[in-house]
Amino acid sequence: ALISLSFGGAIGLMFLMLGCALPIYNQYWPLFVLFFYVLSPIPYCIARRLVDDTDAMSNACKELAIFLTTGIVVSAFGLPIVFARAHLIEWGACALVLTGNTVIFATILGFFLVFGSNDDFSWQQW
Closest CA to 43 of 16, 63, 29, 20: 63
- Altogether, the residues listed in the chain come to a count of 126
pLDDT value of residue 52: 66
Q: What is the pLDDT of residue 62?
A: 87
Q: What is the pLDDT of residue 115?
A: 82
Judge whether 30 lies within some domain. Answer: yes
Does any domain span residue 126?
A: no
C-alpha to C-alpha distances, 34 to 14, 26, 38, 109, nearest whole angstrom: 13, 17, 6, 16
Question: Number of folded domains in the chain?
Answer: 1
Give the sign of the dihedral formed by CA 112, CA 95, CA 36, CA 82. Answer: negative
Q: How far apart are CA 61 and CA 67, in angstroms?
A: 10
Question: Is 125 a domain residue?
Answer: no
User: Which portions of the chain are predicted below pLDDT 50?
Assistant: none
Q: Report if residue 103 sits inside a domain.
A: yes
Q: Which domain holds residue 38?
A: 1-120
